[in-house]
Amino acid sequence: AQSVTQLGSHVSVSEGALVLLRCNYSSSVPPYLFWYVQYPNQGLQLLLKYTSAATLVKGINDFEAEFKKSETSFHLTKPSAHMSDAAEYFCAVRNSGGYQKVTFGTGTKLQVIP
């Protein structure tokens, strides 16, 4: 089964600084990859997804992620962090084939320092 690994359970950035959250996938075939965000005491909201149409994927709130097959990575970035970005971010993978579930990474908590 495919899986994702998120490096760093906690990441702190200053307000206005670059956000970089790391995600690597394990797959022998191009997977379907997603980034979800979970604000405190809330549900999971889709930020963006990769479905092989384009390697650079743009999402909501100025987040984007680049699929790099050579590095088996799908890192999430945002040029300038806002206080409102403080949340937990989950990278997720969905196996190819029909009716497959999404499998989440262990999550990265983003702290934004004023």
Partner 1 sequence: AAGVIQSPRHLIKEKRETATLKCYPIPRHDTVYWYQQGPGQDPQFLISFYEKMQSDKGSIPDRFSAQQFSDYHSELNMSSLELGDSALYFCASSLGGASGNTIYFGEGSWLTVV
Helix, strand, or coil here: 73?
strand
The CA distance from 28 to 31, in Å, is 8
* Cα separation values, 77 from 53, 92, 99, Å: 19, 16, 29
Using an 8 Å Cβ cutoff, are 24 and 5 in contact? yes
29 vs 83, which CB is nearer to partner 1?
Answer: 29
3-state secondary structure of 60: helix
Site map (CB under 8 A) of partner 1, residues 2-21, x = contact: --------------------
Q: How far is the CB of 16 from partner 1 (least distance, A)?
A: 29
Chain position carrying tokens 């993978």: 93
Q: Give the residue with the Cβ less far from partner 1, 85 or 88.
A: 88
92, 35 contact by CB (below 8 A): yes
43: contact with partner 1 by CB under 8 A: yes
Of 18, 20, 46, 60, the one binding partner 1 (CB under 8 A) is 46
Binding partner 1 (rule: CB under 8 A), the pick from 12, 14, 26, 51 is 51
For partner 1, the closer of residues 51 and 111 by Cβ is 51
Residues that bind partner 1 (CB under 8 A): 32, 34, 36, 42-46, 49, 51-52, 90, 94-107
